[in-house]
Structures are given as C-alpha cells and as structure tokens.
C-alpha cells in the first residue's frame, strides 16, 4: 500500500518524538517559513558555532502535519553542527529525491531516505521540504551577518 | 430521510462515475471548494461553442446576435434565480474579483475625489477619508478580507472586525459596538466556508443602514445551497461564484443596487465598457456593461444558466433540506467519535453544510491523506480563512462539505475513515 510507503514507522517515530525541537536563545539568523496552502509553520534559527565558525548550529520550533514535523526532526539529526556546504548538499539531495531524480543516499540524508514515499503525493512534497528550505534561508542569512560583521571589524 | 432522489442526480454527474486511488469509488466531499458539474451544464457550454460561438456585443452577423442573445438571456435567468433584475448583475471572473470590484470602487472614487475630479452623482458614498472604518467579520475567507485590508492600507481607513463566539457564531453584541458613525462599509459572509455558520443578514444590514454604510454580502456558500432573494436580504452588493453552484469555472457574479452601480466609476477598463472614446477622454457605458470590460465569458455564463435551471428543477428548498439532513448526520457521526471536535456550530439551525473538525493527535493533512487513500476527497488546511483557525486555536481543520449528489453512505464512509486515521496514527 502506497500510504504505508509514505508513513513509514521511522517517520511516525520522528513525528511523535521529534529530535531537537526548541529554539536556542542565541542565534545569528532566524527565519519563519509557512506552507500557505495548509498552515504548516516553522521558525528556524541558525547559530554559528563560536568554536568553529564553519559549523552551523540548528534550532527550531514548528507545527504542522506528520511529514513536516518528521522532516524537521530528521533535518536536525542530519544538519546540526554541519557546514554550509554539507547542509546545502543535503538540501539539494532531498529536493532531487522528492523529484525522483536521484536514488536516496542514506549517507547524506540519514533517516531522511524514509521520506522518499512522499514523492508519490505531490501535494505533500512542500510539507517535507519546508524545514530544509528554512535551513538554507537561515544559513545564508547567518553567514551573511558574519561576513558583514567581519567587514565592519575590518 | 429526504425525499430526494440522489441516485438520479448522481447519474447526471459524469465525474462521480470515476474511481480514484486504485479503484476506489470517489466520495466527493469538497463542494465547498468547487462543485462538480452535471451533463446539462457541460452540454450547454459545448452547445454554445458548437453552434453559437462569437464575441458577445460585437459584430452584426448572425452568430454574434445569437451569442449576445444567449449571454443576455442567461443573465436574466441567473438574476431571476436570486430575485434580481438582469441589469443589476455583473459578470466577473469569480467571486474574488466581484468583491474586488466593490473594494476598488471605493479606492477609485477616493483617488478621483482627492484629485478634485467630478464624480458621478451618488459616488460620494464610496469616498473614504483617513479614519473612516471598514467593518468585516472574523469569519471571512480571504476573498472578503484581504481586499478590505488593502483598501484600508491605501486610503488610511481603519479595518475593524466583528468577533466570534466560542460556539462559532457571530458576536452580534460586539457588532453593535463596532458598527458606528465612521463605518462606511460592512462586508460579511452569508455562510462561513469553514464553520458553516449562517449569519443573520437582516441584523447586520439594520446596523449598517443606521449609519448609512454600504453593505457587501459574500454569498459564495449560500447561493448554491439555499433559496436567496437579494431584495429580501436588503444588502447593497452581493458576490458569489458560479463554480460552487454546478456552473463552470471562471464565472462569478456581482449583484449591486441599481442606483449604486450607476454611480460607480469603472474598475477594469477597456473595450465593451465604453460609451464614447477619443484620444483625450472616454465616457462609460451604463451598468452592467461598464463593469464587463473585454470579450465576456459567454460560454461560462450559458453554462451557469444551465446550472440555475438544474437547481431550479430540484428546488432550492429541497437542496437545503437534503444538505441539512446530511449535515445533521455528519455532525452526529463525527461527534460520536472520541477525540473528534467539530469547529463550528453543532446544531443545524442557521447552519450550512460545511463541517470542519479536528482529530486529536492527527494533523488535518494526515487525516486528509488517510481519507484520500479511501477515495474520500475533503479539504484540509485553513480553507483560505486563516484568522478563523487562529480564533479557535487550531492550525488547520479537515472539512467535509455536502451537496445535492452526496448521500448517507458517504457520510458513513467519512466517519469510518476518520476512525481509521485514528487507528493508523495510534491515537
């Protein structure tokens, strides 16, 4: 049954027990993304690791359907503490996977490969991508603030 | 039980014969978003294109005459359906455009007034000054909210709204406080697309009239489902869409009081809506042509007229009674499921057939997905009425809406699938 292919146990587990939910107090950038057709929302913050400026710390709070919630939980597992290049590669990969353009790569997406079944339901793809797009937006803004701070201090 | 022959009606709707999601019978419970179309409507559109297609109100050849006659006869038929005169009906792309036609009337009159331009007699009612008030309700869908927000933003008028009670009704006590001497327009829905609530039009009209405010009724969810007589309602404008009442997509209607339509500056300008044109200046045609720029949607209007005939043959009283029966059944069956909460009135007095609900522990998107897997089409999300969801502290709802072609078995299927969703998600 196709439905079980989308709602795999691993997805439902992330939905019921999300990883890393809750916003960090310090952050370099915050974004708020919504899915205007259904009202799913995420607030996502990116903090540049003070010990290693290449690493981006992720925190978030969200509400929405099982797919959007599980996807954010998986994003936290995969991208928290990763570099922009690593994160961007993961975003590109999940987008391609949901367009059925690539075979899912567990090394890149971890549990995110279980979101593959969402590709069968075009109306749900945006649910799955909401947090990943928010991360990319926030990461770019965070790095931008760091660059401008550096420019100012220069 | 109703005396209504649903099986015979269903046979007129070809789409109801198809299957979805691996051979499931289609259970279409999303008529609040758009209704399905009977053969009679599809045939009328096709007949127009096959035999009479020409640009309406242009040309003197035979099929242009036929197209014009078909268009204007349809206007008369559609007007009669809501107790109106033909020339007081303006065709638009959809109800959203019809409401924008009115909101832009206020903006255009205000802009012309600010520039010291002459306004037609009576147009002063549409001129807004900073601090004037626009009143809506908290149960509006975006089509009857955003145009007014924009109008306030552009003119310096203030948008105010009438709140809702916990049981999903309009708070009429607060309406008396909100509609006041600065109120220039009161725009409100006849029936909420999310809650199903049917508002007391007369009460709001009385309040608006006492301060000489213009009233605009959003009838998208009422005209398809109950007998509506616009003269009895006493409003100044009424907007609704054709596609929610068995008609084609791409056709909406605005009814306006004749003296107001006559006083209004145009909205969309171009061909068809003119009287005389020179390089320096244009004078405008009388309504309704003044508001129908460009080649009109004759085939859609003819299709909508066939939809009106179809509904008239059933009788709008019978339509309403059938829907009341289904609504009562749906509320009873859904409310009997532990963990399911109806958002909106749970009694069927002054209530239409939009039944919104939430399932504890299962997001509406996920409920909708389980239902879809069983062939049941419902709407999930905020239904273009995000503030209503916020008012009741729900991110979204699942909404079933019923129409003439739905039957008891489909309500049972809905309730059963909601239980399945609970099982699937382990709540």
Is the Cβ of B382 closer than 8 Å to some Cβ of chain A?
A: yes
Determine the angle formed by the axes of helices A66-79 and A9-16, rounding to 10 degrees.
Answer: 90
Structure ipTM over 0.90, yes or no: no
Q: Which residues contact B32 (CB under 8 A, 6 or more apart)?
A: B193, B221, B244, B353, B354, B379, B383, B399, B401
pLDDT (tens digit per residue) in B252-299: 999 999 999 999 999 999 988 999 999 999 999 999 999 999 999 999
pLDDT (tens digit per residue) in B116-154: 988 888 999 999 999 999 999 999 999 999 999 999 999
Cα distance between residue B143 and residue A54, in whole Å? 46
Pairing of strands B89-92, B24-25: unpaired
Distance from CA of A137 to the nearest CA of B (A): 24
Place of tokens 């009424």: B238
Contacts of A1 in chain B (CB under 8 A): 373
Tell me how crowded residue B103 is: count the other CB atoms within 10 A of its CB: 24
Cα distance between residue A37 and residue A64, in whole Å? 12
Q: Hey, what CATH topology would domain A3-153 get?
A: Sufe protein. Chain: A (3.90.1010)
Confidence band for A150, pLDDT divided at 50, 70 and 90: low
- Which residue in B22, B23, B369, B385 has the most chain A C-beta atoms within 10 A of its own C-beta, making it the best mutation to test that interface? B369
Contacts of A66 in chain B (CB under 8 A): 363, 365-366, 425
- The candidate with the shortest Cα–Cα distance to A62, out of A40, A90, A78, is A40
With a threshold of 0.80, does the pTM exceed it?
A: yes
Active-site choice (B220, B253, B384, B389): B384
Cα distance between residue B253 and residue B297, in whole Å? 12
pLDDT (tens digit per residue) in B194-221: 999 999 999 999 999 999 999 999 999 9
Return mean pLDDT, chain B. Answer: 96
CA torsion sign, B406 to B197 to B386 to A69?
negative
B253 assigned to active site: no
């Amino acid at each position: 049954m196709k439905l079980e292919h989308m709602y795999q146990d691993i997805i439902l587990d992330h939905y019921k027990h999300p990883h890393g939910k809750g916003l960090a107090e310090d952050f370099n950038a915050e974004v708020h993304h919504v899915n205007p057709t259904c009202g799913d929302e995420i607030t996502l913050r990116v903090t540049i690791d003070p010990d290693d400026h290449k690493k981006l710390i992720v925190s978030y709070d969200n509400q929405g359907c099982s797919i959007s919630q599980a996807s954010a939980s998986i994003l936290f597992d995969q991208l928290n503490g990763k570099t922009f290049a690593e994160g961007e590669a993961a975003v590109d990969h999940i987008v391609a996977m949901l367009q059925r353009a690539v075979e899912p790569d567990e090394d890149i997406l971890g549990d995110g490969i279980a979101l593959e079944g969402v590709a069968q339901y075009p109306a749900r793809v945006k649910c799955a991508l909401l947090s990943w797009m928010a991360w990319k937006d926030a990461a770019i803004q965070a790095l931008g603030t760091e660059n401008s701070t550096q420019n100012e201090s220069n | 039980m109703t005396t209504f022959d649903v099986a015979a009606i269903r046979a007129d709707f070809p789409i109801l014969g198809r299957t979805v999601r691996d051979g499931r019978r289609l259970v279409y419970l999303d008529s609040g978003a758009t209704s399905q179309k009977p053969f009679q409507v599809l045939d009328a559109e096709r007949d127009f294109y096959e035999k009479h297609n020409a640009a309406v109100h242009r040309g003197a050849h035979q099929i242009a005459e036929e197209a014009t006659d078909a268009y204007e006869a349809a206007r008369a038929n559609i007007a009669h359906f809501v107790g109106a005169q033909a020339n007081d009906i303006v065709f638009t792309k959809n109800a959203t455009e019809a409401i924008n036609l009115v909101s832009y009337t206020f903006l255009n009159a205000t802009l012309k007034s600010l520039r010291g331009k002459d306004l037609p007699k009576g147009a002063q009612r549409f001129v807004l000054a900073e601090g004037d008030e626009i009143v809506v309700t908290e149960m509006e869908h975006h089509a009857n909210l955003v145009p007014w927000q924009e109008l306030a933003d552009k003119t310096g008028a203030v948008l105010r709204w009438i709140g809702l009670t916990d049981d999903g009704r309009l708070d009429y006590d607060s309406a008396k406080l909100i509609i006041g001497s600065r109120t220039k327009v009161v725009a409100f829905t006849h029936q909420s697309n999310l809650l199903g609530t049917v508002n007391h039009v007369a009460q709001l009209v009385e309040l608006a009239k006492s301060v000489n405010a213009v009233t605009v009724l959003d009838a998208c969810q009422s005209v398809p489902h109950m007998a509506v007589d616009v003269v009895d309602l006493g409003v100044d404008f009424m907007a609704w869409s054709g596609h929610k009442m068995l008609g084609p997509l791409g056709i909406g209607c605005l009814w306006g009081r004749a003296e107001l339509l006559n006083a209004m500056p145009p909205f969309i300008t171009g061909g068809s809506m003119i009287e005389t044109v020179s390089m320096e200046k244009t004078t405008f045609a009388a309504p309704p042509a003044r508001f129908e720029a460009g080649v009109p949607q004759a085939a859609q209007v003819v299709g909508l007229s066939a939809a009106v005939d179809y509904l008239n043959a059933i009788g709008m009283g019978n339509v309403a009674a059938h829907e009341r029966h289904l609504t009562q059944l749906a509320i009873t069956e859904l409310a009997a499921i532990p963990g399911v909460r109806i958002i909106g009135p749970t009694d069927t007095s002054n209530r239409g057939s939009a039944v919104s609900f939430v399932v504890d522990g299962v997001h509406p998107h996920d409920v909708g997905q389980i239902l879809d897997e069983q062939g049941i089409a419902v709407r999930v999300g905020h239904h273009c009425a995000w503030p209503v969801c916020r008012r009741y502290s729900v991110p979204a709802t699942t909404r079933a809406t019923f129409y003439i072609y739905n039957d008891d078995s489909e309500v049972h299927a809905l309730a059963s699938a909601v239980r399945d969703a609970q099982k699937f998600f382990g709540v």
